[in-house]
Amino acid sequence: MSEKDAQLPQSTLQSIDRTLQEILHWTRFANISKLVETLEKELDTAEKRLAYDRTDGMNGVREVSVASGTPMRTVANWWQKWFHLGLATESETHKGRMKKIVSLDDVGIKIPVAGTRRVSQMTQTQQTEGQQPASVVKEGI
């Protein structure tokens, strides 16, 4: 049998690769509680949770930055950290973009509404004038 005859079709190799990647993601965590614990520890702000939620392999740094209200450099740094923690992977379809390994909803972590801010992040002017922007989230994350 020649080497050419022994080669698997590209689609089969891609399917095997996707399966192995999925196994790798889940074996990094002994169980779902460890995954949730890691996500909650790492995604400790509304901005991080929004950014993680929008990290779908399709959105770029700019889109995630706008959605989370954080600078693009910050999002890029988070992506690198999440990749090293095993919380995100490289997008298969969009080079240079990241993809979360799990939906926060799927593991019971609440996703803040885009454009909201915590009361503690109100500007000094708003606090002094006794105003609350309509987009303030009053409950903790």
* CATH code 1.10.10 for 14-104: yes
**Cβ atoms within 10 A of the Cβ of 109, count?**
17
Q: State pLDDT tens for residues 42-85.
A: 999 999 999 999 999 999 999 999 999 999 999 999 999 999 99
Which sequence spans correspond to the domains of the chain? Answer: 14-104
Check: CB of residue 34 under 8 Å from CB of residue 98: no
Q: What burial class does residue 85 get, using C-beta atoms within 10 Å of its C-beta: 0-12 exposed, 13-18 middle, 19+ buried? A: middle
Check: pTM over 0.75? Answer yes or no.
no
Only one residue has tokens 């000094």, namely 124
pLDDT top residue among 137 and 112: 112
Q: In the chain, what percentage of residues exceed pLDDT 90? A: 59
